[in-house]
Amino acid sequence: MALDLTSLPRPSRDDTTVGTMVRGLVGSEILRIAAEIRELVAKGTQVCNLTVGDFSPKEFPIPTGLRDQVGVALQAGETNYPPSDGVLELRQAVQRFYERALGLKYPLEGILIAGGARPIIYATYRAVLDPGDVVVYPVPSWNNNHYAHMLGAKSVVVTTDADSGFMPTLAQLEPHLSTARLLCLCSPLNPTGTMVDPGALRAICERIVEENRAREGRGQKPLILMYDHIYWVLSFGGTKHVTPVELVPAIAPYTVFVDGISKAFAATGVRVGWAVGAPTLISRMRDVLGHVGAWAPKAEQVATARYLDDTKATESFLTSMRASVEARLEALHRGFQRMKDAGLPVRAIAPQGAIYLSVQFDLVGRDGLTTNDAIRKRLLEKARFAVVPFQAFGLAEDTGWFRLSVGATSVAEIEAALPRVEATVREILAGK
């Protein structure tokens, strides 16, 4: 008979078995919302689920070439440890990909493969920051608050607004740059689906270079820029993706790119990500991840290398991927534009990139709704429309802004849900 351990203690707030940092780590807000949705779905309610930053494999399958190559690599026995910086073929494929698509030729020592982009972000924070060091990032943004907490770093938050497309300006960042060790930018941005303006990014990069020249003269550690552009191939409506390094080449020694196949190739569960940057930083990140063992599985690395080098296949996949994501974002945007034109207090930012749309339900203070979360709940219960408030991305104020993520829905589901949303907004306005 097996030893019955099923009644072992479950986690609790005042659990003394773990350290202080871990006790203070906040779980994902989105997972909490997802649990509520699961409950509704289990009761047979159909929900238009725009919460998860993920893809449903039914709506967005991974490229067949990638899928097939994973099988081929496993059959060929690619099952032992990969090198700690990634298999050579994949690092070379990423090197060619960046040269071909972004016009940036990095040395191989500047390319590190990991099990998705998350370990890359963790390793960047870990390699740059000591406890108490300052990390600056805009809010809303994705998970910087959690990484900063894990490192014991001092978060300095710059709150952005809709007028600047939720992107920080140099003027907003300026007061913090002289004390910061790490600045985290992301474009296209999760949660807003907006992209940084090239002029604004250039100004920020020039200022970082100037700051670092001064620090070098004083023998101080430089300010590092983490540029998370995991959604960079998903841009729409004529908005062009730009990189710090193409705009200001002198920033290259201080820049780490965060990237991977999770979003571009709808391959969130395949777990292949990479960092591209200066070897000085990348080699330290490799050492960190080597001890964590956060490598991408070897067969998936080999498969990704072969797939990335098939430029015809990747380009044709990306063309149809962009069109599918854009069709969903446009359907949502059109719907909210119609409601706005009809005088309802809603607005959406036209799709620019990623798989997200920013929508404001300007309903705080109406019909007893005092918070974004209360609006979210009402939309879920009455309209079966599931969205995530910007509070899940570090925003403190209840401004009525929400992230709508389209990777798990169809255009038909969106079209069917929009009239329910309109009816619910009208009910709220009528105070019912």
Ligand X SMILES: Cc1ncc(COP(=O)(O)O)c(C=O)c1O
Q: List interacting residues with ligand X (CB under 6 A).
A: 53, 116-118, 142, 186, 190, 228, 230, 260, 262, 268, 273
Q: Which of 213, 190, 187 is nearest to 202 (CA)?
A: 187
Q: How far is the CB of 82 from ligand X (least distance, A)?
A: 17
Q: How far is the CB of 228 from ligand X (least distance, A)?
A: 5
Q: Which of 242, 235, 201 is nearest to 351 (CA)?
A: 235
Give me the residue whose beta carbon is nearest to ligand X: 116
Give buried/exposed letters for 7-46 (b at 16+ CB in 10 A, else e). eeeeeeeeeeeeeeeeeeeeeebbeebbebbeebeeeeee
Q: How far is the CB of 160 from ligand X (least distance, A)?
A: 15
How far apart are the C-alpha atoms of 248 and 205, rounded to whole Å?
6
Q: How far is the CB of 247 from ligand X (least distance, A)?
A: 20
Q: How far is the CB of 137 from ligand X (least distance, A)?
A: 11
Please say which residue, 273 or 394, places its beta carbon nearer to ligand X. Answer: 273
Please say which residue, 186 or 417, places its beta carbon nearer to ligand X. Answer: 186
Please say which residue, 110 or 116, places its beta carbon nearer to ligand X. Answer: 116
How far apart are the C-alpha atoms of 54 and 37, rounded to whole Å?
15
Task: HSE, CB side, 13 Å, CA atoms: give it for residue 378.
Answer: 25
Please say which residue, 195 or 339, places its beta carbon nearer to ligand X. Answer: 195
Please say which residue, 110 or 353, places its beta carbon nearer to ligand X. Answer: 353
Please say which residue, 201 or 369, places its beta carbon nearer to ligand X. Answer: 201
Please say which residue, 214 or 292, places its beta carbon nearer to ligand X. Answer: 292
Amino acid identity of residue 107, one-letter, is P
Locate 302 and state its tokens. 């080999």
Task: Let me know the angle formed at the C-alpha of 379 by 376 and 380, rounded to the nearest 5 degrees.
Answer: 85
Query: Do 103 and 318 meet the contact criterion of CB atoms below 8 Å apart?
Result: no
Q: How far is the CB of 213 from ligand X (least distance, A)?
A: 30
Please say which residue, 106 or 356, places its beta carbon nearer to ligand X. Answer: 356
Q: How far is the CB of 292 from ligand X (least distance, A)?
A: 14
Q: Output the CA torsion 71→72→78→84 (10° steps).
A: -80
Please say which residue, 104 or 230, places its beta carbon nearer to ligand X. Answer: 230
Q: How far is the CB of 42 from ligand X (least distance, A)?
A: 25
Please say which residue, 230 or 276, places its beta carbon nearer to ligand X. Answer: 230
Q: How far is the CB of 116 from ligand X (least distance, A)?
A: 3
Locate 380 and state its tokens. 């879920």
What angle in degrees, to the nearest 10, is found between the helix axes of 311-341 and 298-309? 90
Q: How far is the CB of 271 from ligand X (least distance, A)?
A: 7
